[in-house]
Homo-oligomer: A and B are copies of this chain.
Amino acid sequence: MKLNDAILQKLLNCWPVARLATVSAAGLPHAVPIVFVVEGVHLYSPIDGKLKNGTPLKRIRNIEENPAVTLLLDDYHDDWQQLWWVRLDGEAELHVPDASVSRLLEKLLRTKYPQYEEGTLLPRDAHYLRITWRQGAAWAQSGYPAHIIGQAIDRLAIPA
């Protein structure tokens, strides 16, 4: 099943988290939760460029070995009739934006994630994972992903 583009774009614009899966040259999967914004046809996920134990983040090493990625958007709920997921398949690359794109992406990130204003600083001159994606599939336990995902989006707007 696939979501229509309007619902999918709405979801990507507001859903705060996705799980990114990448694969090493040896065929081993890796997964990590990411934040992201939509700009044009791409998704961008900031990385702060820091080295972990002296080497780049595993997700970066993996996409340099194999650019294929999957992004999973979903929402666990104790009411299983509310369960849904959307999978995006694509390719990722390390992207170092020029100054104007950098300002645009920072603005998009600060708009989507007020947390960036509250002290969790965006790294200056952040690098990004730039993801070229296509919809893989959408699923809902109820059989109606567009309806259930619409409800999940509406709940996002209401502080818990």
B-contact bits for A126-160, CB 8 A (1 contact / 0 none): 00000000000000010000000000000000001
B-contact bits for A56-75, CB 8 A (1 contact / 0 none): 00000000001011111010
Q: Which of B29, B68, B87, B141 contacts A22 (CB 8 A)?
A: B29
Q: Which of B32, B66, B80, B115 contacts A115 (CB 8 A)?
A: B80
B-contact bits for A4-34, CB 8 A (1 contact / 0 none): 0000000000001101011100011111110
Interface size class of A (residues with CB under 8 A): 20 to 34
Give the copy number: 2
Q: Which of B69, B76, B87 contacts A16 (CB 8 A)?
A: B76
Taken together as a complex, chains A and B put the C-alpha atoms of A23 and B23 apart, in Å, by: 7
Taken together as a complex, chains A and B put the C-alpha atoms of A32 and B51 apart, in Å, by: 29
Q: Is the CB of A74 within 8 A of B33?
A: yes
Measured CB to CB, the residues of A under 8 A from B are 16-17, 19, 21-23, 27-33, 66, 68-72, 74, 76, 78, 80, 83, 85, 87, 89, 115, 120, 141, 160
**A–B Cβ pairs within 8 angstroms, 28 of them:** A16-B76, A16-B78, A19-B72, A21-B21, A21-B29, A21-B31, A23-B28, A27-B27, A27-B66, A27-B68, A28-B70, A29-B68, A29-B69, A30-B70, A30-B87, A31-B70, A31-B71, A31-B87, A32-B85, A32-B87, A33-B72, A33-B74, A33-B76, A33-B83, A78-B115, A80-B115, A120-B141, A160-B160
